[in-house]
Amino acid sequence: MPEPVIAVDRLTKDYPVGFWRPRPYRALDGLSLTVSPGEVFGCLGPNGAGKSTTLKILMGLVAPTSGTAHLFGLPVANVASRRRVGFLPENPVLYDYLTGEELLAYFGQLCGLRPADARARGTILLDRVGLGAERRMAVRRYSKGMVQRLGVAQALVQDPDLVILDEPMSGLDPIGRRDVRALILSLRDEGKTVVFSSHILSDAETLCSRVAILAAGRLQALGSMTELVEFSVRAWEMLLDGTSPALEARLREAGATLTVLAAGRIQAHIPGAQAPEPLLQLASAAGARVLSLQPVRETLEDVFLKHVEGKRRDVPGAEVA
């Protein structure tokens, strides 16, 4: 098997909380996981779950209280472990008085690129994140969504093998979210490894090969979508128009739960163990129009809520998110 890109073993982080008598606040509690090359790995959890703390430890921004973390087989305390890593923090703070192209050229040179190569790389990335027309605009004039796009671009400036994105969809409109989703998938297709944290479960469900669900600093679930989400049909939802009171009564007798949407229009909820065909025939025979019939399956949101409900806690500060 190939060496993991990320290997975390019993990682724990305590923060001192309080002024007069500081007490330890456990933001991360014994986290163990690995991420393989080429994966899109999602780190999910409510506020205070330990997502950002985990990513900060991987980037060497925060030291763990105990446990180990490795990137490409090197301890995260070793600066060389991050030479192949690009990082987007949750709230990127960029140089306001530089233009977008100046900023990326500067970051490119910090990563060891020659000035001409850094400028060329910046031009490519600005086009890739949809900021080509604003390349000569000062960053202080960028909207929040534009700053987020620019932050994604700077994470890619040295063409890293591992891209770590902390809440990459934050502040983006629907078009921006679509573009970042497409970018993550293109990075995967290039053979790169992408790790991101998110509150947007639909994005994780669409993008991730595996996800980790954290709550109260602990790993609650880890696996692929097929391992975590039960895709069997849990129920059926049937939308009917032109119904009569008599038909509605017969549908209830047949086991359906009805929601009246308007006069003559209902939504029928049919338990998954019950075949929907007899109710379809019943509705058609009564002259009602079947507008839709959809299966109801468990989603990643259902799994997420099952693991985190009742495990949220007050967060002393944003730094332990």
In the DSSP assignment, the letter for residue 52 is: H
What distance in Å separates the CA atoms of residue 58 and residue 6, rounded to the nearest whole number? 8
Pick from 1-5, 53-57, 128-132, 182-186: least confident: 1-5
Q: What is the mean pLDDT of residues 28-42?
A: 95
Query: Does residue 321 register a pLDDT over 60?
Result: no
For each of the domains in the chain, give its residue range(s) and CATH number, in order of start: 6-84+160-229+302-320 (3.40.50.300), 233-297 (3.30.70.2380)
Contact between 121 and 114 under an 8 Å Cβ cutoff? The reply is no
pTM of the model: 0.80
- pLDDT digits 0-9 by tens, 63-73: 999 999 999 99
CB-CB contact of 313 with 216 (8 Å): yes
65-85 in b/e form (b: 16+ CB < 10 A) is: bebebbbbeeebeeeebbebb
* pLDDT of res. 283: 92
Residue 317 DSSP one-character state = -
Q: What is the DSSP letter of 138?
A: B
Rg (CA), the chain: 25
Q: How confident is the model at residue 300 (pLDDT cuts 50, 70, 90)?
A: confident
Question: Can you give the pLDDT at residue 53?
Answer: 93
Q: Are 183 and 136 in contact (CB under 8 A)?
A: no
Residue 93 has pLDDT above 80, yes or no: yes
- pLDDT value at residue 319: 44
Structure tokens at 240: 């009917």
Torsion angle in degrees (nearest 10) through CA of 193, 198, 201, 207: -20
What is the per-residue pLDDT for 36?
95
Residues 6+ apart with CB under 8 A from 257: 268, 269
Buried b / exposed e across 12-45, counting CB within 10 Å, b at 16+? bbbbeeeeeeeeebbbbbebebbbeebbbbbbbb
Q: What confidence tier does 172 reach under pLDDT thresholds 50, 70, 90?
A: confident
